[in-house]
Amino acid sequence: MRVRQVDQREQGARGISRRGVGGVPEPVRSIVVQVGEIIQLAARVLHSALRYPRGYWRDVVDECYVLVKKGLVPSFATVGFFTFVVSAGAYGILSRLGAEHLMAQFTLTISIREVVAFMAAMVVAGIMGTAITADLGSRVIREEISAFRVLGLDAERLLVVPKMLALVVMTALLAVVSVAAVVACGALVGTVAGDVSFAAYWDSLLRNITAPDLVNLAVKTALMGFVIGVVHSYKGLNVSAGPEAVGRAVNQSVVITFIGIFIVNLGMNAFSLAMYPDMNVLR
Amino acid sequence: MSNSRSVGGASAARERINQEGNASDPLDKLAASTVSGLDTLGKIAIFGFGMFADLPFVVRHYFSEAIRQAGILVVSSSVVLWVFTLTIGLEAALLAHYILGNVGAQDYAGMFIAFAVMQATSASTFGWIFAAKVGCGYAAELGTMRITEEVDALRVMGMHPRAYLAGTRLLACLLAVPFIFVVTLTMMLAGGWVMAVQILGTTSSGGFLDVLWTFMTPLDVLLALVWSMATVVAIVVVSCYFGYNASGGPVGVGTNTARSMALNLIVASAFTGLFYQVFFGMNVAFPIAN
């Protein structure tokens, strides 16, 4: 059944390019076709994972472990260093205005709403996403995917579904845990390098951190994890031929993922700011 | 396991540790991984010094290849870098609108943009996107050349493979990236202007530009340029090292690309914290309340 579907998909893509929209210039057409195929892959994987939710959870746990092992240190380092700079800037601006005890507000707003999600997703895309593309791409080159098909196995369910679920879960968890790095680096800047007492920093922090902020962060990064999984799996499964193509696929998928991450970030921010205007109020 | 494949000295050190102590002891494992990490860092440093030592040779013999690499960089990567940094400018103006609006200082959106672009984010965001677009590409390209034995072929033909492959790319980045980065700064400021003036209407165009030019100094541009060039050189060295020393077939290339990306993210972020402290310390270089 899977074989038939894939064949139909390939025939459909070719048929369309020959007949209906042949007048559309090639670059535009290939972009639209790629986006459409990525969405189709996402729908197939979601259907497979939700319709038959059994048999892959052990693999999901394994993938989660790999992700934690490889991603925790880079994620903490990038978030920590960047928050350090942002906090130092916020402290500088606010101390000019004589309101440096409010710096936790700036640190939290900038970090939780923008930086942490972007960084965690970037780390996950850079570490796990590239590995997924390289793994699937080299399997395609060695014709292991074709072998799966011949044996009647569903390669997408066996290879893509566990990684995708692990990415969805772990991107969100890494981002939420990285908030600890934000709080620690903000405190370091404010109390050790700056002139704010820890009590004032903590007070400002607790008054300004809100549940919608954290829920927004978790949902946003889970969506980003899904985008990372789909794009990198698609690019890996559609490697043309030769080892050179694997390198190119890795490169392209990182760029496409960054675009996807940015779109998700902007969309979720606009949505949550409209739904919870309280997130913006200085307290 | 992946370490021992690409780093020979580290695996020897690990074997030594394994022979001396119990391998399952977590402290020994920690020591072994620390040793292999330091070993990799040292090898990257040696490789980087080698790339710099090759530069005169590259200028004399492979200058046309360096120009070709610079052309590839400008044609295929610059637009991606500019579009991403434009969106960073848009985000900065969005934050400025909400944060400054809360304290009633919307007229000073330009101050926020000047700080965010010049002093905080330009070099670091440029570094991340450069690592993703260019760094990953270099690692994958050189890794593919290594596993298809093109590097050995170059050596057999009497060429200097490290200078021809890594040195030309470094020279190309040194030639082309300053210009790309200056346009990047323009794109960030333009993104801030579009979001603050045209879309959100935070302040008027004249007011925005007046505040922006008041709070932005030529020194800021120079420091941002130095900062970003240091980041870019580190990224090129790291990704060329991991590509040049790839092994183990297409999977090895993928693993090494992923490792170079992880290390590049850490390097770009660490440089952000370091250079911010070196250039600005805890003071924001603003002409108010000084």
Per-residue pLDDT tens over the stretch A9-47? 555 555 555 556 667 787 888 888 888 999 999 999 999
Query: Any idea which residue has 């799996």 for tokens?
Result: A233
Task: Tell me: pLDDT of B21 over 80.
Answer: no
Per-residue pLDDT band for B176 (boundaries 50, 70, 90) equals very high
The mean pLDDT of chain A is: 82
CB B51 within 8 A of CB B161: no
CA–CA min distance B16, chain A (Å):
24
Please indicate whether, in this complex, the C-beta atoms of B258 and A248 are within 8 angstroms of each other: no
Task: Tell me: pLDDT of B219 over 70.
Answer: yes
When pLDDT is averaged across residues A185-213 and rounded to a whole number, the result is 85
- Residues in A closer than 8 angstroms to B141, CB to CB, are 247
CA–CA min distance B20, chain A (Å):
26
Identity of the residue numbered A215:
V
CB A107 within 8 A of CB A186: yes
Dist. CA A188–CA B37, nearest whole Å: 27
- Residues in B closer than 8 angstroms to A110, CB to CB, are 95
- What pLDDT does B14 receive? 57
B288 interfaces chain A, CB cutoff of 8 Å: yes
CA–CA min distance B197, chain A (Å):
18
3-state secondary structure B267-281: HHHHHHHHHHHHHCC
Please indicate whether, in this complex, the C-beta atoms of B265 and A78 are within 8 angstroms of each other: yes
B272 interfaces chain A, CB cutoff of 8 Å: yes
Task: Tell me: pLDDT of B2 over 70.
Answer: no
CB B93 within 8 A of CB B196: yes
Task: Tell me: pLDDT of B239 over 80.
Answer: yes
Dist. CA B222–CA A254, nearest whole Å: 30
- Residues in B closer than 8 angstroms to A81, CB to CB, are 269-270, 272-273
Dist. CA B232–CA B254, nearest whole Å: 22
Task: Tell me: pLDDT of B87 over 90.
Answer: no
Dist. CA A162–CA A56, nearest whole Å: 6
Cβ contacts of residue A66 below 8 Å, gap of 6+? A128, A166
- Residues in A closer than 8 angstroms to B289, CB to CB, are 96-97
CA–CA min distance A227, chain B (Å):
16
Among left, alpha and beta (phi > 0; psi -120 to 50; other), residue B21 is: beta
3-class DSSP assignment, residue A210: coil
B34 interfaces chain A, CB cutoff of 8 Å: no
- What pLDDT does A19 receive? 56
- Residues in A closer than 8 angstroms to B87, CB to CB, are 262, 266
From A57-66, A91-100, A231-240, B71-80, the region with the lowest mean pLDDT: A91-100
ipTM of the complex: 0.74
Per-residue pLDDT tens over the stretch B136-163? 888 888 888 888 888 999 999 999 999 9
Q: CA nearest A93 in B: which residue?
A: B284
Per-residue pLDDT tens over the stretch B90-136? 888 887 887 777 777 778 888 888 888 887 788 888 998 898 888 88
Per-residue pLDDT tens over the stretch A54-88? 888 888 898 888 888 888 888 888 888 888 888 88
CB A134 within 8 A of CB B251: yes
Cβ-based contacts under 8 A for chains A and B = 158
- Residues in B closer than 8 angstroms to A213, CB to CB, are none
Among left, alpha and beta (phi > 0; psi -120 to 50; other), residue A51 is: alpha
Task: Tell me: pLDDT of B6 over 50.
Answer: no
- What pLDDT does B181 receive? 94
Q: CA nearest B215 in A: which residue?
A: A93
CA–CA min distance B202, chain A (Å):
16
B276 interfaces chain A, CB cutoff of 8 Å: yes
Best residue in B240, B257, B290 to probe A by mutation, most A CBs within 10 Å? B257
Per-residue pLDDT tens over the stretch A22-31? 677 878 888 8
Q: CA nearest A105 in B: which residue?
A: B99
| Closest partner CB to B273 (pick from A84, A244, A258) | A84
Dist. CA A268–CA B99, nearest whole Å: 18
Domains of chain A by residue range? 62-280
CA–CA min distance B258, chain A (Å):
5
Identity of the residue numbered B166:
A
Please indicate whether, in this complex, the C-beta atoms of B250 and A262 are within 8 angstroms of each other: no
